[in-house]
Amino acid sequence: MSQQSITPELRQWVAEQIRLGHLPEAVIEAMVQAGWKEDLATSALDGALQTRRARAPNSAALAAGPASGAGERMPGLDLTQSPRRIDAGDRWVDVIATLGLPRVVLLGGLLSAEECDALVEAARPRLARSLTVETRTGGEELNPDRTSHGMFFNRGEGELVTRIEQRIARLLRWPLENGEGIQVLQYRPGAEYKPHYDYFDPVEPGTPTILKRGGQRVATLLMYLNEPTRGGGTIFPDVGLEVAPVRGNAVFFSYDRPHPATRTLHGGAPVIEGEKWVATKWLREREFV
């Protein structure tokens, strides 16, 4: 294979592997073992993913296998014309960077400094040790992997929360009622959230109970409310990405199926100095009740 090229047959084979839900790393490894050069294998995979996204009605749809039940439509920004800024209704939001797989978009200026401060002050009196969803039972539990303190606002709780939720719904083109309430978290020095997935594991016995409230989670929007002096970045280990916490900025990522193939493993790195405040908005397939 001294003269290798990406043939239509190769593209078709790669597209079929993606459709079947094989991990991108596994597809590349299989090609390399068959004698293809790694850079060519990577290019073939990227091309197949781009083609799949272009054919989807929403450019933010992931390309790693069949949808999770939300159909082909997924929450996401309209990035078809590679805009630098997007109109979110009452505010223009900057598009700083995008990543194809996982589908990650870094946003600038989603929240004003005043909105960040107001969320922190409204949340502070209601903070408690953060819990995680217990997928074995459908309830909640303390988890040593998550050492933050937090609280939830009810959806539509007050003018500030309502304004931000409406902005998010327009920006991500997803029904407001399909969003969970905004969660605000405080990470003190040493606090972290070890890498995890936000979707609910389908094999766990408690997941059917959780899904009754609105189906699977399909996307996450993480908003930074302040800036720790050191540490506290949002990490995506599968792709070696770390997003610095900058006040008012946000990182959006989506996952069209509850499977590691989405490469949405992520975590909150330990805060080394200072403290970190973030607000999280999870989006569901259907109306969250």
Q: Which CATH number do you get for residue 194?
A: 2.60.120.620
Whether residue 128 sits in one domain with residue 34:
no
pTM: 0.75
Give the whole-angstrom CA distance, residue 107 versus residue 252: 8
Residue given tokens 């949002």 in the structure block: 234
Look at residue 68 and tell me if it is in a domain: no
Residue 46 pLDDT > 60, yes or no?
yes
How many domains does the chain fold into?
A: 2
Give the whole-angstrom CA distance, residue 73 versus residue 76: 9
Q: What residue numbers bound the domain in which 170 lies?
A: 85-284
Look at residue 37 and tell me if it is in a domain: yes
Helix, coil or strand: residue 279: strand
Question: What share of the chain in percent tops pLDDT 70?
Answer: 85
DSSP 9: H
Q: Which of 184, 180, 165 is nearest to 284 (CA)?
A: 180
Give the whole-angstrom CA distance, residue 133 versus residue 162: 25
Give the per-residue pLDDT at 60: 35
Whether residue 178 sits in one domain with residue 232:
yes
Give the per-residue pLDDT at 11: 84
Give the whole-angstrom CA distance, residue 127 versus residue 87: 33
Whether residue 214 sits in one domain with residue 128:
yes
Q: Which of 147, 221, 226, 225 is nearest to 187 (CA)?
A: 147
Whether residue 138 sits in one domain with residue 24:
no
Residue 61 pLDDT > 70, yes or no?
no
Cβ-contact 235, 198 below 8 angstroms: no
Whether residue 213 sits in one domain with residue 171:
yes
Whether residue 146 sits in one domain with residue 14:
no
Whether residue 97 sits in one domain with residue 21:
no
Whether residue 160 sits in one domain with residue 38:
no
Residue 267 pLDDT > 70, yes or no?
yes
- CA 224, 164, 241 angle in degrees (round to 5)? 30
Tell me how far CA of residue 224 lies from CA of 70, 110, 206, 249, in angstroms. 28, 9, 31, 6
Whether residue 250 sits in one domain with residue 190:
yes
CB proximity list for 37: less than 8 A, separation 6 or greater: 1, 4
Pseudo-torsion of CA 42, 251, 286, 169, nearest 10°? Answer: -130
pLDDT band (50, 70, 90) for residue 4:
confident
Whether residue 105 sits in one domain with residue 15:
no
Look at residue 231 and tell me if it is in a domain: yes
